[in-house]
Amino acid sequence: MRLILIRHGRQSSPLCNVDVDLSEVGRRQAELLAKRFNGFAPDRIYTSALVRAKQTAEILFGTEAGFHEREALNEISFGDMTGEADSRNAVLFPEYFAAKKKKEENLRLPGGECPTEVFDRALPVVREAIASGAETVVIVTHGGVIRALVAGLLGLGAGQMLRIADSLEHTSVTELWYSEAAGCFSLERLNDASHLEGKPELSRSAWAKG
């Protein structure tokens, strides 16, 4: 099975993990990826239950594609940081950000989830996809979920999530292959955002400056 993990386009609010629409930039990012896909039709498409992921999937594959929505694919819970600006969170939770810089294993967000909890809730969706018999499966989800899944599915342990892609671009493509004979996944590509090349205003670095 070919498993393609796609991060949603940029959201319309800079506040931490709020459930809002895509921004205009996020729509442009998704439209560029849709153009790159050029009619690509996976056998099965999953999305998180959050608006930005569902809107991204609709732009990529059309509103009639038949999505399997799963709350288990929602972004990692940011707990006490949810709805706050990054600058305020940095002041309120300096110990968390210091540990994050050190890539502390299985780091729990203040009042929120840790990577292994995210992996444990998302893994049944991956197992469902394998059991479906689909050859190509797409999951449109969030950065924390993608990083936890990659670390966990490769056997590194989901707790090593912070070692996967320091800067995961919006609408980036990460691809794994599941071997039934081996009973495991292999990584084919990570954080592929070639559809955004030549458009620096659509990159995460531009978002950080904004």
Distance CA 198, CA 156 (A): 33
Q: What is the mean pLDDT of residues 105-112?
A: 98
Position 188 pLDDT exceeds 70: yes
| Chain segment 158-184, per-residue pLDDT in tens | 999 999 998 899 999 999 999 999 999
Distance CA 41, CA 36 (A): 12
Catalytic residues: 8, 75
| Chain segment 48-92, per-residue pLDDT in tens | 999 999 999 999 999 999 999 999 999 999 999 999 999 999 999
Strands (E), 70-201: 136-141, 173-179, 184-192
Q: Give residue 30's pLDDT band: very low, low, confident or very high (50, 70, 90).
A: very high
Give the 3-state secondary structure percentages of the chain, helix then strand then coil, rounded to 5.
45, 20, 40
Q: What percent of the chain has pLDDT over 90?
A: 95
Position 209 pLDDT exceeds 90: no
- Looking at residue 210, its pLDDT comes to 41
The chain-wide mean pLDDT, for the chain, equals 96
> pTM higher than 0.85, yes or no?
yes
Question: How many CA atoms does the CB half-sphere of 37 hold within 13 Å?
Answer: 21
